Amino acid sequence: MDEDELIEGLRSGELRLYELEDKADAGTAATARRRFVEEETGADLSAVGDYTFPAEAADANVENMVGAAQVPMGVAGPVTVHGGAAEGEYHLPLATTEGALVASVNRGLSTVDRAGGTDARVTDHGMTRAPVFRVSGIAEASEVVEWVDDNQAALAEAAESTTSHGELLAADPYVVGDNVFVRFVYDTKDAMGMNMATIASEAACEVVERETPAEQVALSGNLCTDKKPAAINAVEGRGRTVTADVEVPRETVRERLNTTPEAIAEANTRKNLTGSAKAASLGFNAQAANVVAAAFLATGQDAAQVVEGANAITTVEAREDALYAAISLASLEVGTVGGGTKLPTQSAGLDVVGHRGGGDPPGNNADALAEVIATGALAGELSLLAALASRHLASAHESLGR
């Protein structure tokens, strides 16, 4: 069917929006759907329809496609990273609509690079999925917990039968009344791995149901925890747990950030630590989500997982001749294969970083990406804290016309 025939089918109700790809190629379906939505809503979707990749390339990423939402992308850097996986000079692509963000991160990266770059390390990793089971009471719950603890190998065998890359690291049971949650933790290598963890956990759950009195109620019981603020992710981690730190000479702080180590340290303590504690915040940082969100959009990560990416603590210390600063992100969920990383723009973003596709050894590329993003987040913290300490925040936005 051509565009006009598809649109007429939508008007008459003979076709539904999701059925167009059954009648035409993906590009024709997207155009017809876009024209129909324009007619129905009065919106001008010409800019939405001006995209460069073939519609078929997004088949695995979106349904009812009408075009693409285009977000301006900038680049910050270069900056030197001395990481466990990332080593060398890096540029960080950032897609955002927030004016002054890239400039702020760029200032921070320049300061960090002048100081010799960051040390960055992924200190833990593991994508989680936590199904919830029903039992009759605590006696059965205890039986399930004991079985899970004693049969980790059997659970791993079942889970790993569904994937050629994933590895079950742990299955941790939790009991709440007549509920038993099992938090499965996976090494998903270079994939962010949420789908991998879900499919593998389903296979493991079948074993739990077969061997114990437990009955699965939901494949996700929210103890994972995915895309929601959660203390368990702050404590146990999810995805990559990564820290980047730097020691900036006092003179560099003065020249590049227009303030002193003591002023930045005080701003961090009163704002990021005391203020966050008073607010009962899970994130003790100034703007980690800003950098995480922009980097996620630029490199094809799941944007909703910025929730976990904001789960970070910034620490700052004024030393005799320097400023020590670090950011620790407890649950940064990133990948360099799968999902949105395959889209052309996002794939190019990963090429800017220099870590696209599977790493050697597996997992190395995703570790490197996490270390580079953590470095960018640290730069953003330094720049914003300095702007606050020197009372330049409002004037900086004003001078950039934001």
Catalytic residues: 98, 302, 397
Report the C-alpha gap between 62 and 46 in whole angstroms: 19
Q: Let me know: does 286 contact 385? Beta carbons within 8 Å.
A: yes
Mutual angle of helices 288-299 and 364-389, in 10-degree steps: 140
**CB-based contacts of 376: which residues, under 8 Å, 6+ apart?**
76, 79, 92, 94, 105, 109, 291, 295
Q: Phi, psi at residue 195, to the nearest 5°?
A: -65, -40
Coil, helix or strand at residue 278: helix
**Tokens 């992710």, residue located:** 233
Report the C-alpha gap between 372 and 217 in whole angstroms: 39
Q: Let me know: does 381 contact 314? Beta carbons within 8 Å.
A: yes
Report the C-alpha gap between 237 and 331 in whole angstroms: 5
**CB-based contacts of 274: which residues, under 8 Å, 6+ apart?**
none
Q: Let me know: does 37 contact 43? Beta carbons within 8 Å.
A: yes
Of 367, 336, 227, 347, nearest to 298 (Cα)?
A: 347
Report the C-alpha gap between 3 and 217 in whole angstroms: 44
Q: Where are the alpha helices (DSSP H) in 92-192?
A: 101-114, 138-150, 152-160
**For the chain, percent helix, then strand, then coil, each to nearest 5?**
45, 20, 30
Cα 166 to its chain centre, rounded Å, is 19
Report the C-alpha gap between 247 and 317 in whole angstroms: 9
Mutual angle of helices 288-299 and 101-114, in 10-degree steps: 100
